[in-house]
Amino acid sequence: MTFMSTTTTPKTATIDDASRIGRTLARAFDDDPMMRWFFPDDATRETGLGRYFSTLFTRQYVHHGVCEHTASAAAYWVPPGAQDKAVPDAETIQELVEILGDRAALFQEAAAAAAAHGPQEPHWYLAVVGADPAAQGQGQGAALLRSGLAKADADGLPAYLESSKPSNLPVYEHFGFTVLGEVQLPGGGPTLWSMRRAPRHPAGA
């Protein structure tokens, strides 16, 4: 009999997990081109990213999304019908402005550019997924991906994401995503690839 490791078993995240998830995602996204563009200072990036991810989690995604974690990875998904609610409100934006400092305007322009290329069809949106590099190869990020995709499949809906890290594209393609297009972020920002995955088991099939 095979038992799934508790290290890789996705669990629903609660508000009490915010700090730990923030730290995990800060380490996961340290080499991400878009996050390095938002947080260019090597000395302060990890702290800034931790605050960034924990703020989004506590103010938006834990309330309107499906947030799961493993021992060293986390994912934020937004189900259909909740996209508008998951958009940062004015107070959240103000907190992010304080965290991002002089990069805040670039962040807001990038967010608007990405949103303009978002899908119009109902879908599950993978806002964030990342694993601590120290846990690389343990399958924790993959477990979170499979968990979210199973929910999309159960609804008979596609899944959608954006990535600014070229090396991640084959990983997502392995899970059935295909590249829809590229978005060049304004202000000299990195390229963002939009990706879509069709449902494997449509509802009612």
What torsion do the CA atoms of 129, 134, 135, 141 make, to the nearest 10 degrees? 10
In this predicted model, what pLDDT tens digit does every residue of 126-138 receive, in sequence order? 999 999 999 988 9
Which parts of the chain have pLDDT scores under 70?
1-6, 85-87, 202-205
Give the model's pLDDT for residue 136.
Answer: 85
Give the model's pLDDT for residue 82.
Answer: 75
Give the model's pLDDT for residue 93.
Answer: 84
| Tokens 């608007």, located at residue | 112
Distance between CA 105 and CA 167 in Å, rounded? 27
Q: How many CB atoms lie within 10 A of CB 70?
A: 26
Which one-letter amino acid corresponds to residue 30? D
Q: CB within 8 A of 155, min separation 6: which ones? A: 79, 80, 124, 199, 203
In this predicted model, what pLDDT tens digit does every residue of 36-76 receive, in sequence order? 999 999 999 999 999 999 999 999 999 989 999 999 999 99
Give the model's pLDDT for residue 98.
Answer: 94
Q: CB within 8 A of 145, min separation 6: which ones? A: 75, 126, 129, 175
Give the model's pLDDT for residue 180.
Answer: 95
Give the model's pLDDT for residue 3.
Answer: 44
pTM equals: 0.91
Domains of the chain: 11-146 (3.40.630.30)
DSSP letter at 203 equals T
